[in-house]
A = this chain, B = another copy of it.
Amino acid sequence: MRLSRYYAPTLKETPAEAEVVSHKLLLRAGMIRKLTAGIYTYLPLGLKALNNVARIVREEMDRAGALEILMPAVQPADLWKESGRWEFYGRELLRFVDRHEREFCLGPTHEEVVTDLVRHEIRSYRQLPINLYQIQTKFRDEIRPRFGLMRGREFVMKDAYSFDKDDAGADASYWAMYKAYIRIFERLGLKFRAVSADSGAIGGSFSHEFMVLAETGEDTIAYCDACDFGANVEKAEAVCPPPGDIAPCPPAETVATLGQHTVEEVAAFLEVTPDRIVKTLVYVADGKTVAALVRGDRELNEVKFKNLLDAKDLRLASPEEVTAATKAPVGFAGPVGLAGIPVYADRELSLAADWIVGANAADAHLRHVDLGRDAAILSFTDLRQVAPGDPCPKCGAPLSFAKGIEVGHVFKLGLKYSKSLNATFLDEAGKEQFMIMGCYGIGVSRIVAACIEQNNDASGIVFPPAIAPFEVALLNLNAKDAEASAKADELYDALTAAGIETLLDDREERPGSKFKDADLMGFPIQLTLGGKGLARGIVETKDRRTGEKGELPLDGFMDAFVAWREGVRQGWGLE
């Protein structure tokens, strides 16, 4: 493509609307434009990047045996009512009526539609397994859309749905997708981790998230450098050493802690370390008051607590609710004598006795508390957040933390939708059985943003070769000079004929603008033709990722280029 005939409007200033780097750079590099909050138009460069991601996703889905279909964006409410999600999904589901006052929604996901399709089509175990996928535009009415393509309202997803006749088959379908995802993110040239994930509201028995590593990520991942363990901190197990001998504990006694509310204040006041204190946290789960205990130097993991309670809604109690439940101001809650309130403790608290806890009275704590003896604890279980340095649950080495952006998700759904939508088949014995489902999503448009969050510098985007709209930017610095332009055209034709996507900057602009634009748009390879280099018979090269510059001879250019390009690709971890 010739830039003079293309449409890639770069901006010098960063638009005020953009907060995160990918959003800023997608706007500045002329890849997207905002239509309205959370809704964007893809300009030619942005669409090429999007299509590059989609193509690799499609190839790997096909290779894994999934079959591509295309389901509608507009979905009838009836199916969502049948699955039970019409009420449950909340206001992110955009609902409307058609001209005949029939209720519809704009699909944020397609479990209902695909299950409805399959229940009408599949009759026999002979037709299973089947895995159907699509790459399609979805809509989620985010309350506060932001961050450009990272959290838009209209976005492009790949969603796949597997149907199996038994659990072993469903597991095989799951792992086939897991492996396809690994290949996809490797081919895209992204640094990523597959992590165990909390399966959240969508339900299901197990799942993995695929995280693109980036400092700006909203998710925190705990991972191990010594083995392949990785998990969202929401899900990562906090390892608990085996129980040992517990020293006997003197009788509990009240101690005055006038004005000492926080763990740090109480620890300093009583001259102990925070790990001797029990933190009592009062929550409201589906309207009912409950309490959770963790060691003073630990944090409660709300996702683990919510899963333990099997609660739909979990929130910290307000100060008024804490006082009503404990008869004491905030800061003095404790597990002893908390009548009528279920109390759950992190399992670490079972390793010792002799704790300091709130006394459920103003300005007072209890010491020498043996939780087993003095309090009614419903269970000791894993409730705390892991922390950097905690032992890896798999190998015991210290865990590291990293920030990540979720770009893919695989779920084993089990029977959730096949039961509610009655998707059955006849098994080998002629008996009706529910299909076992899995669902597998990839945020295609989100990957374009996430790859920029991971790969950028002060000059602009640093696109991985597989995602870059063009692999090569060929800068003709003498666009007004016929001879130089003929040479540039010759190189452009040779690169294009070799199947290497090249953008020829043939504009009559200053060299400085051309370099700046090429850097901003982030093409992996820059080739510059002009000036003294041209006189010497060479093309200047630049590897956008490393910034390294070099020269290639015009004479025998393609051979030299292909060899040099190999090195650039290897630097990206590509074959």
List residues of chain A with CB under 8 Å of any chain B CB: 5-7, 9, 33, 35-36, 39-44, 47, 50, 65, 67-76, 91-92, 94-99, 106, 113, 116-117, 120-121, 130, 132, 137, 139, 141, 143, 153-154
Contact yes or no, A139 B41, CB < 8 A: no
**A116 / chain B contacts, CB cutoff of 8 Å:** 35
Contact yes or no, B41 A74, CB < 8 A: no
Given A69-B44, A70-B50, decide whether A35 and B137 contact each other with a Cβ distance below 8 A: no
**A94 / chain B contacts, CB cutoff of 8 Å:** 96, 98-99
Contact yes or no, B72 A154, CB < 8 A: yes
- 8 sample A-B contacts, Cβ–Cβ < 8 Å, listed by A number: A35-B76, A41-B117, A47-B69, A47-B70, A50-B70, A73-B137, A74-B154, A94-B96
Q: Beyond A7-B67, A40-B72: 8 further Cβ-contacts under 8 Å?
A: A7-B132, A9-B121, A47-B68, A50-B70, A73-B73, A73-B139, A74-B139, A99-B143
CA distance A130 to B50 in the complex (A): 22
- By beta carbon, the residue of chain B nearest A99 is B91
**A96 / chain B contacts, CB cutoff of 8 Å:** 94-97
Given A35-B116, A99-B143, decide whether A73 and B42 contact each other with a Cβ distance below 8 A: no
Contact yes or no, B74 A106, CB < 8 A: yes
- Nearest CB on B from A172, distance (A): 15
> Which of B9, B75, B99 is within 8 Å of A141, CB to CB?
B99
Contact yes or no, A44 B67, CB < 8 A: yes
CA distance A132 to B7 in the complex (A): 9
CA distance A154 to B73 in the complex (A): 8
**A50 / chain B contacts, CB cutoff of 8 Å:** 70
CA distance A96 to B105 in the complex (A): 10
CA distance A75 to B74 in the complex (A): 15
- Nearest CB on B from A432, distance (A): 20
Minimum-distance CB pairs A-B, first 8: A96-B96, A42-B70, A91-B99, A36-B76, A39-B72, A41-B71, A44-B67, A72-B154
Contact yes or no, B69 A120, CB < 8 A: no
- Nearest CB on B from A171, distance (A): 20
- Nearest CB on B from A307, distance (A): 28
Contact yes or no, B41 A113, CB < 8 A: yes
> Which of B35, B47, B70 is within 8 Å of A75, CB to CB?
B35
- Nearest CB on B from A117, distance (A): 6
CA distance A7 to B67 in the complex (A): 8
- Nearest CB on B from A2, distance (A): 10
**A71 / chain B contacts, CB cutoff of 8 Å:** 35, 41-42
**A92 / chain B contacts, CB cutoff of 8 Å:** 99
> Which of B39, B70, B113 is within 8 Å of A74, CB to CB?
B39
**A7 / chain B contacts, CB cutoff of 8 Å:** 67, 69, 130, 132
CA distance A6 to B154 in the complex (A): 31
Given A33-B120, A113-B41, A116-B35, decide whether A141 and B98 contact each other with a Cβ distance below 8 A: yes
> Which of B33, B67, B99 is within 8 Å of A6, CB to CB?
B67
**A154 / chain B contacts, CB cutoff of 8 Å:** 72-74
Of A9, A47, A73, A76, the most chain B CB neighbours within 10 A belong to A73
CA distance A455 to B457 in the complex (A): 56
**A141 / chain B contacts, CB cutoff of 8 Å:** 98-99
CA distance A67 to B5 in the complex (A): 9
**A73 / chain B contacts, CB cutoff of 8 Å:** 73, 137, 139, 154
CA distance A97 to B94 in the complex (A): 8
CA distance A120 to B68 in the complex (A): 37
**A69 / chain B contacts, CB cutoff of 8 Å:** 7, 41-44, 47
Contact yes or no, B132 A35, CB < 8 A: no
CA distance A490 to B65 in the complex (A): 21
CA distance A105 to B132 in the complex (A): 30
Contact yes or no, A35 B72, CB < 8 A: yes
> Which of B41, B98, B113 is within 8 Å of A72, CB to CB?
B41
**A67 / chain B contacts, CB cutoff of 8 Å:** 6-7, 44
**A72 / chain B contacts, CB cutoff of 8 Å:** 35, 39-41, 154
CA distance A314 to B139 in the complex (A): 39
**A106 / chain B contacts, CB cutoff of 8 Å:** 74, 106
Given A7-B130, A47-B70, decide whether A35 and B91 contact each other with a Cβ distance below 8 A: no
- Nearest CB on B from A65, distance (A): 7
**A139 / chain B contacts, CB cutoff of 8 Å:** 73-74
- By beta carbon, the residue of chain B nearest A41 is B71
- By beta carbon, the residue of chain B nearest A130 is B7
- Nearest CB on B from A521, distance (A): 15
